[in-house]
Structures are given as C-alpha cells and as structure tokens.
Homo-oligomer: A and B are copies of this chain.
Amino acid sequence: MPVFEETSRASRELRNLPTIAQPLPRLTPRPQPRGRHAQTASSAPSSSSNGTSDDLERYEVVVIGAGPAGLFLTLNLARLGLTDDSLACFDAKPAALKAGQADGLQPRTLEVLRSLGLHSEILDEGCHMSEVAFWNPSQATGKSGIERTTFVPDVAVRARFQHEVTIHQGRIERILEENLGLYSQRGIVRNTRFVGYTLDDSEGGGVDAEFPITVTLEQRPEGSSSSDWDSAEVTTKKVRTKYLVGADGAHSRVRKAMGLRLEGESQDHVWGVCDFVADTDFPDIRKRSAVHSEAGSLMVIPREQTVTGDYLTRLYVQIKDEVSPEDKSVMAEDEEKEADELRKKRKYQEKRQKVTLNYIFEQANRVFAPYSIKVREDTEVDWYAAYQIGQRMTEAFTKQDKQGAERIFIVGDACHTHSPKAGQGMNVSMMDSYNLAWKLVHTIHGLAPEGASDGPGSAAASPHPVLATFSLERLAVAKQLIEFDTKFSSMFSGAIGASDDDEAVSSLTHDQFLQVFRDGNGFTSGCGIEYLESTVVQPVVASQEAPQGCARSPINPDGDVLNGCLRPGRRLADAVVRRFADANPRHLQDDFLSTGRYRILFFSSTDIHDLQGRTAKALAHIGDTIIPAFPKSMIQLTVLHPSRTQRFEWTDVPKQIKQHAEMRFHGVGVGEEDVYGVYGVDEKLGAAVVVRPDGYVGAVAGLDDTQALEAYLRRCLRTL
C-alpha cells in the first residue's frame, strides 16, 4: 500500500476504458451543428456563402439502412472521425435483426474485423469451418445413396484465419452497434425510411452548395410494428447532406431514386434453408458439406454453439421441380407496379404451400440416404425459409453531381444480389462499405487532394480522385462475384455422377465442381481480391528502365501472390514477426489497423548496419522528408530487418527507425517463417511499400526509388 499517491486525473481516466480509434486529422472546417439536431439550432444560421439558409438538419453523410453494410459503413465513418453532428444512419425497421439470413464470414472479412478490434466474440463464439466434405452418389456397384468423395481445406490461400466463421448475422450487427456506441451517442435512428432525394447542384439560388442533397424521410413513432407505414402518426422529415449512401438492401429505395436497377437473370432453382439442432448419423454434419445425390443437392453449413450448449446446423436444400421456366421473372426488380406486386405475392403464397418445413426435411432425407436427419428432440427449429435468387447487379454504384463529384452511393445488396451458396453475401457488402468509408472521410476531412473538376468523366478527371476509385474497385469485385456465383451455383444445382451416367463422365463432373471451388478460393476467401490500377493503386513496372517517378518492382516476379507475395491492389497478407523492442511475436497485420492512415512497410536490406548504405539513405528520405511532409500521424512507418540471429542495439541501425517505428521494427525469430520470402522481397535488395488505409498494397518501390513512393503518396494525400 502506497505511502502517498499522485495521479494525473486527465490521463488516468482513459486507462480504464475500452480502446477507441483516434479520429483522422481534419484540414477542412468542422461542420457547425445546424437544424433540429443541433443543440443551439436557432443561434446557428447558415454559414454557406452561395446559398440561402434553411432550418434543415445538415449532415456530411447520411446512410440509409442498418444491415451489415449500412452498420459497418456508419461504424467505420464514426471511427474515422465523423461525429453525430456530421453523420446519421436511418433504418426503416423498428429493431435489429433477430433471426436467419447471412451467417458466413470469410477470412478476409475476419482480418478486417481484427484490424478494427471487433474479432474476439466472433472468433471465440462462432463456428470455424476448416474443412469441406464433398459427397456424391456412391460409385460402388450395388450401393445406392451417397458416399464421401473427398475432404478439402475450406481456405486454400494464405490467410490470418485459416477458416471461415459462421455466426448469427444479428449477433454481428449487435457487435457492430455496440462498438458504434463508443463513438456515437445517437446510434442508429430506427423507424425511419427513405422516400427520395434531390441533388440540387445548380449555380443558381435556393441552394446550399456545401450540402446539395436534400433527403426526404418518413418516420413513425417508436414501438410501431413493421406494417405501420400507412398510419396517421407517420411524419415526413427532410435533411440536407453532402453525401448520401444507400445500404438499404436488394429492394433499395435509394437505388431506385438514382434510376438504377439490378440486372441479370434469376437462374437458380428454389431452395429451402433451415437453422436447427440436428439429430443425424450423417458423419460430416459439423463440416461444410456439399452433397450431390441422385435426389438433388444440399449443402450443410455448421453453425455456432448456442447458449444452452447445442450446436446449430444450417441446411440449404434444393427443391426440385418447384419452379417452371416462366417463373424465372418472378423476382425481377424493375416491375414495380401494383399488379406485378400482387402477382408476385400470389406466386410466393403458392410456393409457400409446397415448401413447408416437412418438405425441406423430406427432401433432405432423400438426398442424405442412406443417412437420415431430423430436428433434435426437445429443440425447436430456429428459422426456415424458401428462396429463389439469381445473380444480378447494377451498372453503376454512384451518381455524380454536375461537377463530376460522386455524391450518392449504394453498397451491399443494393448493388448486387446472388445466391448464398458461396457464403459471400455479408462479406462483399461489408467490404463495399469498408472500401468507401476511408475514402469518404479523407475527402470530407480534406486529406485527399482535389483533382480536376471538369464535370463527370473518368476517375482521373474527378474532382475527388480518391473517392472516385470506390466505384472502380467495387464494381469490378461485384462482377467477379456475379460470375463466380453463376458458375458455382449452377454447377451445384446440377446432378453429378448419377449411377446411370457413364462413370468417367461422373467423376469428371465432380472434379470440375471441385476445380471451380478451388479456383474460386482466392475470391471466396476474400484474400485474393485485386483492385485495378487507379490513383490509389500504382502498378509496378518490372523493367529496370522504368521512367522517372515510376516504381520498378523489387518483388519476385514469380512470387505466389495468393500466399503473400506483394502486389499492388492486393491486401497485405499476415505473417508473424518478432518485435525488436520487446521480443514479442507479433502479427504484422496488427501494425496495419483500420485507422484511416497510410503506412510505409520498409524491408531493410542486409546493409541495415551500414549507416551510409542504401537502407540508411532510403530511411533518411522516408523519415526526414516524406513523413514530415504530410499531416501528422497520416503516414506511419513499419520496418522489417533480415537479421536472424545477430544481436544488435538501437545504435547499430539508422536512427529514423527508433524515431518513427520504435514499436514497429521487427525481425524474424529463430526457426520462424522467412517473411522476406513470403512477401517476395530479396533481402539483399530490400523494398519499400505503401499500404493503403484499408490494408491493400498501394505502391511498391526499390530502396533507391523512394521518390516513387513520395509521388504516389502526393496523389493520395494532401501535403502540409
């Protein structure tokens, strides 16, 4: 017990609290609270010089929808620095999701959640899927029913988490919303639905040029049930905003207001889905299992343990011959008329008659034979549904104003819908938001340089070149998603190796299916996504004759990019390194948390102890010139060294390392993985890499070529 104590109140108060992200620096003026959401609404007239004032609430970003995409966007925006004065998220539903729907998180999404500190409960309580079992009609003579053909790893590429996780979507939403509570007092505004917007960016009067979008919303009182939108209590409200994002799902009203529509066909069969506690002798019920039988196909998705200790299972069961060809248009989005709606409803009801819970289990048992499955006694089915979804997407994800600046965005299911078989839904949606969030805040905070503003056109000519890359990058991913899902789900719905087929053909068909599964792993794991060349992705030039200002690649051209080899546009893979300062093993990705900052990942060469060498010169340029040129904290340095066993002291390496990277200076422990090899860097040459705020490699350069990194960074970030 101390004789006396002295504490500094200001600093110590923070030590107890959960860690919160440090907001990004802001170079633009903070928004003045205005309108009804401001505390001093009447005393804060518009400061806009080129428009008339009105009394509407003003936000910098309005998000519509609080599913995984909208919630994740709102949370990321808040963490990066948008406060309640600047950001609002409205959702039509009265409360958070309670059951069913998406439940799979791919390895890349887990890495991103890890980089936000949101991983623990998901990893601890979710179900891990490490292995996939493939089952096909028995090839043995005289045997009917299915047999296991093979096991394959669920994740075949390098990933920090070598598995997928399944966990209730509502639980993920709860985790996101709880974290949002650390940044936002208001949280999600529920019972509020989007009606329409106007973008008034004309030069004339009546306009607030800073907040050119007026959003019309309907609100109903708290405690309303979901069918209450016709009630007399519903009120209309308008707010102004700089940017509007629709994360309002497959039936997106924002998308419709933008004049966009989901295009593509409904190719899939009707499927039944059910979450329950299984009682079965099917051996692989706790593995992801793709089962093809002569009676149809099904997929087993093991799910998390419940609070009572039971393990949930999700089954996707193909409902054969439920849908005749003319039903294909049933889910078309663009037929919005009353009559169509009625026709749809009738068709749904017809199907519902057929796809009962009993029907799902009868069909599952036909597929599973000689095994059987039922709901475990004393347990209730959690949720079941029937669905029929094809692969469809919109042709654009944004709308620009007259100056060519992106103003209205859609993310998630509002942009792309597809079957749930490949477990992509929630992942691609959340990653849309993750891609958009930092670009929006960099633009709003004035951290991203402005470009030409000659009106709508290519990303390069956009007034906000960094923000313009959102649509470039995510449209390409959505296209890949649609292509993969089309291939995968049509193969999955087809028959494989029925016993009346020729045996050679059957096994080929299974091999083809497996090949699609394996080839798709880079995409389905999320770890193989590659963003195209743009302002924020500078491709490497292989030749030594690269023009001035262009990076020449110091990266092994034969390196395996799916297993960590660096490539601009791909995410920085994880590796375990040994921190110099404290000898702790450390995941390299933990130096690249999602705080909205750019990082330089510096691979020292073996000349690190030569204080006049290439390593020292490159570090001097980075530490003394590049980092100080940009706003404080916006560029962080991580340094790797190739010394394996040799002991050295801080005084034996260039001083910029301790100055800028004392706790981000790592080597390779004895007997540990060769990280230089993993990343494709020759330790005799070294390399310098810029990693974007979202963990994707932006640019790569040799140690003699750090001015190429500087040029890249000047395109991405404002200098002081």
> Chain A residues in contact with chain B, CB under 8 A?
1-20, 22, 96-100, 117, 120-121, 124-125, 127-131, 151, 163, 168, 170-171, 173-174, 249-251, 270, 273, 281, 283, 285-287, 302, 305-309, 311, 331, 348, 351-352, 355, 357, 379-389, 417, 581-585, 649-650, 662-663
Contact = CB atoms under 8 A, between A and B. Distances in A.
B4 A348 contact: yes
16 contacts: A1-B251, A3-B352, A3-B355, A3-B385, A4-B355, A5-B99, A6-B381, A6-B384, A8-B380, A11-B380, A12-B99, A19-B125, A20-B307, A22-B307, A120-B121, A287-B583
Contacts of A583: 130-131, 151, 287
A12 B98 contact: yes
A307 B17 contact: yes
Nearest to A8: B380
Contacts of A285: 581
A582 B286 contact: yes
Contacts of A7: 98-100, 382-383
B386 A2 contact: yes
A128 B582 CA distance: 8
B131 A124 contact: no
A16 B130 contact: no
B121 A10 contact: no
Given A4-B355, A7-B99, 12 more contacts: A1-B331, A4-B386, A6-B383, A8-B383, A11-B306, A12-B98, A15-B168, A19-B307, A22-B307, A129-B582, A283-B649, A286-B663
A10 B348 contact: no
Contact of A384 (B5, B10, B129, B171): B5
A3 B99 contact: no
Nearest to A380: B8
Nearest to A16: B170
A274 to B, nearest CB: 9
A718 to B, nearest CB: 22
A334 B384 CA distance: 68
A584 B1 contact: no
A8 B171 contact: no
A9 to B, nearest CB: 8
A18 B121 contact: yes
Nearest to A21: B307
B3 A386 contact: yes
B5 A100 contact: yes
B302 A582 contact: yes
Contact of A381 (B8, B16, B307): B8
Contacts of A171: 15-17
A-B residue pairs, 6 tightest by C-beta: A120-B120, A2-B385, A286-B582, A12-B99, A131-B583, A286-B581
A1 B306 contact: no
A693 to B, nearest CB: 16
A411 to B, nearest CB: 17
A128 B579 CA distance: 11
Nearest to A348: B3
A307 B566 CA distance: 31
A97 to B, nearest CB: 8
Contacts of A582: 127-131, 286-287, 302
A117 B128 contact: no
Nearest to A170: B16
A499 to B, nearest CB: 22
A388 B281 CA distance: 66
A92 to B, nearest CB: 15
A387 B3 CA distance: 5
A347 to B, nearest CB: 9
A4 B352 contact: yes
A507 to B, nearest CB: 20
Given A163-B584, A307-B14, A5 B131 contact: no
A100 B381 contact: no
Given A307-B22, A380-B10, A585-B130, A385 B100 contact: no
Contacts of A151: 583
Contacts of A97: 16
Nearest to A381: B8
A11 B382 contact: yes
A129 B5 CA distance: 26
Contacts of A387: 1-3
A100 B2 contact: yes
A47 B404 CA distance: 79
Contacts of A286: 581-582, 662-663
A368 B108 CA distance: 46
Contacts of A3: 270, 348, 351-352, 355, 385-388
A134 B547 CA distance: 53
Nearest to A388: B3
A311 B581 CA distance: 12
Among A96, A250, A251, A309, the most chain B Cβ lie within 10 Å of the Cβ of: A309
A584 B302 CA distance: 12
Contacts of A585: 130
A546 B16 CA distance: 54
Contacts of A250: 1
Nearest to A274: B6
A134 to B, nearest CB: 14
Contact of A306 (B14, B96, B130, B305): B14
